[in-house]
Structure 1
């Protein structure tokens, strides 16, 4: 196999792995990866089970007893497996992985290789991708790029003299002028000059006439092909049609076509092909292209049909499908079915773009409009997964025009709605789904329910009162059709959307609707429904029930290798832990989720994770970090001002530093048509800040709304405790005592450390105000212990001030009671997982790193923390070292 010439220098200095993209295999999932790692069975078996299963499935050699149907679908696991394979090569010098003609890599292989390339750091590995100009490529645009400039005249002269030292000076300069610095043009024109005794290079020969260099190169190749013997062209065309085909395949097809492999000898002598092992390789892709284009259509069709007839084994099912398509003119149910099967296989391997192309091609061969519409919808759905929104929308529109029944039209509408949602046109997305669901209410109520449930989920985050009013009667009709038990999620979603739009009278029905939902077994086989259920539980702040469900779903996703779902699941875990005050675990889950979201490109989840991490920064008083995360959230949403999503975090930050006017200004964004849930979430801060500023009537007004919400959530002791705290803040001194005691009693039923500590702080301040200093000291000491355990430094400082005012001498403050340690975010995350007992390889899987990179980060943490083992790390963390979320 001949590499691109510019890669030879790099290849001479290291051990080399190499693979070349093949144009005819661009739609075959993992074709390039199979060439690179096809014989690495033992090495793959040594990987973690999920990675090994995914790689075996991708390479067509399923591991025994592996859950291929799930593991093989996750492309991230394949990419992580590639990274682990490369980084695990014995250290006997640097490794260079060359990927030539990368513009012709199949999408799945390109994704896996570029995934690994982005994560190479300390492994001593370099990956070089060679891509031709003006070609589409699946290689990520975020990789460093070096564009090769044309050869200088001096370099061109040196190359020509090396290839053809006897060239006359005039001819040499003419070739240099014509080639214009293109190395391929120099070599091919030089070959033509050297082989010809008849060309007048001082005259106006058409080969060296002015014009595009590519045209002249193609002309030289075309002339060589036309000069071949007649018996050579059929077998050379067969090799062009089946570029990666071995001699066995070519021989079988040649027999079908009435030619033989002997015809290749002339092409080899003409330096058009090389026979490498058992494979025929064109010396340059342009030769293959010219050979194929020059052949008459009838011969091309016959050649592909012959290849389809000989590629009969299951191993070549995808190749056969594409050859059938290339060899058929007009429609054909057989060809359509073969392409659909190829698309299904590609989708199971996570090669969604490949599957989309195959579905669309299958649609072009379908003999009925119904089948054509169905295939176009499947293509649109696959394109949507790849993020090609315009293409997905175009395909869905085509399907809609061909669809005759409401069910098929609804499937197309779902794609259109998802495109609109991805573009932040949430009202348009909801209207599209609603219009498509309405005709299905009686005939297909289950389908309509799924669509309406999505509408309400979207409206929770972006409430539109008009749209909610339009969707309510449709939802009620569906619930009547299915029965209350079957439509729990839909009913709950409707009430959650109403609450989000500010209708607090829907809070009690929401809680009632969620009661049966929270009791049913976790649906690990229906992840979308389970994700929705967990989110609805978090809407009503029932983190006690949400967290175990989220952790069980997380365990299931890890076990099945469903890495693509991890950001959404981990986000729910982090949010539930945050609500429960498990700050350390919550931050670790959010950091892991952010790493996965970054790896798979999930900006909407990343935006919500920035919010969770911003709350952590706010509680610990890291103002710069909190504002940076808020800015990152704004960037991910396209907002120019501080986004509403981080309003709670910024408000909490202001409260910690006693900036009450600023805190109240943050809460005002919830008073408009924005988000009733945010309005409720901000209420306790608003009430406290207003009372600090002496605005009792303002606090009382906000309290009225919050108590309506708390009343609906009366079974939630944590919410009830905060409600009593807010009532105590607004109440007269004579009435406040019982309210404070009730708040503390309910905190004891479900301790959420941060909220409990805030209540103890405020109660201690009230006791001091009532001149009960002894009791105040006890409450403030209890609050201080909780704040210090959480690392909530501004709040701990405020508590110390209260204790000093009670005559207690308190040391520390301002964060000086801890040891400052400068760990990077990645080092902090790796260190935390190590302390939790995960091995290097397990951490690598979690964070999409190689084990060697994990070891590198741990080594840095050891040095910075002054320890030499994992036991030392555990001891340091236990002693309260704080930086970047370590404690």
Structure 2
């Protein structure tokens, strides 16, 4: 449209689209631009009330150009006479009228160019619509333009044949969200979701619906403004009462109303044709009848009385005797008084929604179930559950409102303590007061039911882990020890960050083993509760797929605290497994969720912290510093030691990336001094490798050996196979030249390291550097090439560059040559020969009494030594190697 006034290719354009898509706004913008550039702008406005007036639209045009009528010849003036009201009995011929109007535009354009604007063309009388349509088709004057706006779907005699067409479409999801942000006051997450769904990309709806955001009912129905009712429900009044009642039941039962849509709704309209004829329903590509727009459905519901809606819900409930959620929600909407049976049904539906990850809707149903309950104690429990799940869903305002409506006594109830602590903890990172309040409530554990005790303990352990100091840990352990027999073992696994990690790791693995076979039966939150401890002990193999499926399921319901917490665990696992690009995407999505979910500041900084770690690994050092600074600034005044430890680790990784080993050492000893391992550090493996590397590189070999000896004495290898491999690695880095070789080989072939490519490559890099110092250049090049390839694949640029530098120092380019591959160990040679003859990994493992993982690790080492990438090249490579050695 910006070129419409300046280019000569199009002279008449019709803008079409649904009500509210911006046709009028676009036309007004064009009119303003034209007027500012010296065009004469003539307006014709179609109005429903004037549609019976013959030639009303032509009259508006001619009146706007009346000063130029004297410039027409007698014949044209005679043709236009009926337009001015003269000769009312004269017959009007379309073609002469078309030519007279074209001539009028030509005369007017002699002084200044003319823009004829026709808005709401669908409301023009039939003569004006037909004549002006023909004028646009025949327009040739270079100084005249016509723009018309027409609503669809709408019957009109106007034909756009011969006109250029611009069809407006709804906004996409991102643009809709941006417009809603600018439309008015801040909205709750639930209100935003309801508005975005109802608006379906309609700009007018996005501007109008927020006005009624505080009046959204239990079913998520939005009150419509007068403008929206006029735009989307205008034709409802033309339907007979029976058709409207039929349409109301279809609207309350779902979007589709046809018999083919039984998976979505069961109500079938008796006679949908009148609503189709009125443009309220359309037939889709599958032959199903559906509402033309979500706001048409909303308008149908909006214009019905409360009694009509209740009657419709009652009728619909009878269709769903076998579908819990549908029956419960329809009966709840039909209820006018407490009804225990309906309350029980709705509470059961809420539990089903929780198992599926739908926390927000579950909270709404629990609240309504509490209102319908006839049992005071049961009602109080349901209200407490509604508060709890509202908080978990990130709907903190709703949770506070619920608390305000239920708390009447002087003593704070358990649900109030739980909700207030949860809100303060997740919303503002408050650990000091929340820890005290939850502890005080658990001191009265003998008066609480087991479910409340478990929720409080779960929150207490989380708060304690984030506080990260000995005082909070000790007070937590003192309380939990008294009631641990009442606490779910899965929740007790979260003491891994509070008690001795070596001892806790064994308990965690024993609990996890009990759930491996039952994972498909667990609800999403339960999967997350299992997956995080599994991550802490490097046991994600069985939990990775269920965790990702659970995350997707919860994420589909929109931003929530649960979705963010689950996203954190998914991100940790992706980072450890070497899928850094995917980890970054999860982290960025987490930040976006935190912006939209009220009360997500704690987890927002969690994502920031680990995006900082990832940035340091990738060599994006300024980004890493910026994230670390932001997390530090937010965490320090709140006493969030866990986050401060992460930012210290970021500092270590930045220094290692810059090969500033003195700075790395100074940062590392702030996490844990040499020879000291905090018993509750779940990141012990990462930290000890960082410290040893920095210490060795700065010549602090005695400190490095003391740290290694303490790791061995504490038996840290019992934490996980990965930590066992890392313990072997730091032992190699600090061992004598006579012992180091075997220790490096043991670390690199350990079954616990293969799933952690960054760690694996760092050990290979250290081995390569040691081999080069031992002047074992061929073996050094093999280790360094493996490290370089892995770092490149991960995107760990600083470490890849370091490996390239070591390769150059070893007298080789980054690309290996086969002639250097003569130093296969005896075991590597035997495994390679068996693999070359077609033996599978399991067969080789059985023949050599090794584990399958060890065989794979050996092959992983052999391939770069031979300059190949798969088993297919083994036979030829071994043949060439023998030839080269023989020569």
TM-score (norm 1): 0.51
Is residue 422 of structure 2 the alignment partner of residue 418 of structure 1?
Answer: yes
Task: Give, in angstroms, the shift of residue 722 of structure 1.
Answer: 1.5
| Separation (CA, whole Å) in 2 of partners of 1:462 and 1:509 | 24
**Within 2, Cα distance between the matches of 1:513 and 1:524?**
19
Please name the residue that 1:298 is paired with: none
Question: How many angstroms does 1:278 deviate by?
Answer: 14
Please state whether the residue corresponding to 1:778 is helix, strand or coil. helix
* 1:696 and 2:701 matched: yes
What corresponds to 1:544 in structure 2? 541
Q: Which has the larger radius of gyration?
A: 2
Q: Could you tell me how far 1:478 is from its partner in structure 2?
A: 4.2
1:151-193 per-position Cα deviation (integer Å, ceiling 9, x unaligned): xxxxxxxxxxxxxxxxxxxxxxxxxxxxxxxxx9xxxxxxxxx
Pick from 604, 607, 632: which aligns with 2:605?
A: 607
Q: For residues 426 and 781 of structure 1, do their structure 2 counterparts lie closer, same or farther at Cα, with a shift above 3 Å needed? A: same
RMSD after superposition: 5.6
Partner of 1:531: 528
Determine the C-alpha separation between the residues in 2 that align with 1:633 and 1:245: 60
1:777–1:363 Cα change, 3 Å:
closer
1:758–1:783 Cα contact (<8 Å) kept: yes
Q: Is 1:738 matched up with 2:742?
A: yes
Alignment counterpart, residue 457 of structure 2, candidates 432, 452, 458? 452
Q: Which of residues 784, 788, 795 is equivalent to 1:791?
A: 795
Could you tell me which residue of structure 1 aligns to residue 619 of structure 2?
621
- Distance in structure 2 (CA, Å) of the matches to 1:345 and 1:738: 61
Please give the residue correspondences for 1:758-837 in structure 2 after superposition, counting only pairs within 5 Å: 758-810=762-814
Q: Structure 1 residues 246, 359: closer, same or farther in 2, change over 3 A?
A: farther
Matched residues in 2 for 1:367 and 1:701: separation?
Answer: 68
- Structure 1 unaligned blocks of 5 or more: 1-11, 20-85, 140-183, 185-242, 252-276, 280-302, 326-331, 813-887
Q: Is the 8 A contact 1:107 1:138 kept in 2?
A: no
Render the CA deviation track for 1:60-95: whole Å, top value 9, x for unaligned.
xxxxxxxxxxxxxxxxxxxxxxxxxx9xxxx96113
* Match of residue 95 from structure 1: 169
Q: How do 1:139-154 residues align onto structure 2 when only pairs under 5 Å count?
A: none
State whether residues 343 and 356 of structure 1, in contact with CA within 8 Å, keep that contact through their aligned partners in structure 2.
no
Match of 1:522 in 2: 519
The Cα offsets for residues 656-696 of structure 1, whole Å up to 9 and x where unpaired, read as 22012332343344349997335653221122112211223
Cα separation, 1, equivalents of 2:612 and 2:397:
34
CA contact (8 A) 1:333 1:367 kept: yes
For the 8 Å contact 1:370–1:402, the answer to whether it is kept is no
Would the aligned equivalents of 2:757 and 2:790 in 1 still touch at CA under 8 Å? yes
Q: Distance in 2 between matches of 1:498 and 1:604?
A: 19
Deviation at 1:531, TM superposition (A): 0.5
Deviates more, 1:549-558 or 1:536-545: 549-558
Partner deviation per Cα, 1:557-597 (whole Å, 9 max, x = no partner) = 68x97886654444433322322334345445545555666
Secondary structure at the counterpart of residue 718 of structure 2: coil
**Residue 26 (structure 2) aligns with:** none
Q: In 2 relative to 1, CA 707–116 (structure 1 residues): closer, same or farther, beyond 3 Å?
A: farther
Q: CA deviation at 1:754?
A: 1.9
| Aligned equivalents of 1:400, 1:433: Cα separation in 2 | 17
Task: Name the counterpart of 2:681.
Answer: 676
After superposition, residues 6-21 of structure 1 pair within 5 angstroms as 13-18=15-20
Match of 2:727 among 708, 723, 726: 723
Unaligned runs of 5+ in 2: 1-13, 22-152, 154-164, 217-226, 228-236, 246-277, 281-304, 319-327, 817-887
Give the number of equivalent residue pairs: 561
2:377 matched residue in structure 1: 370
- Counterpart in the other structure of 2:391: 384
Change (3 A) 1:490 1:772: same
Deviation at 1:389, TM superposition (A): 3.8
The 2-side partners of 1:319 and 1:556 are apart by 25
Alignment of 1:538-687 (within 5 A): 538-554=535-551, 567-590=564-587, 602-630=600-628, 644-671=645-672, 676-678=681-683, 681-687=686-692
Answer yes or no: is 1:489 the counterpart of 2:476: no
SS at match of 1:521: helix
Q: Assess, with a 3 A threshold, how the Cα gap between structure 1 residues 138 and 628 changes in structure 2: closer, same or farther.
A: farther
Native 8 Å contact 1:441 1:448 kept in 2: no
2:433 alignment partner in structure 1: 428
Return the alpha-carbon distance in structure 1 between the equivalents of residues 438 and 238 of structure 2.
45
How far 1:245 moved relative to its partner?
A: 13
1:396 has 2:403 as partner = yes
Structure 1 residue 738 displacement after superposition? 3.1
Rounded Cα–Cα distance in structure 2 between residues aligned with 1:525 and 1:17: 46
Tell me the residue number matched to 1:215: none
Question: CA separation of 1:244/1:547 partners in 2, compared to 1, >3 Å: closer, same or farther?
Answer: farther
Shift of 1:536: 0.5
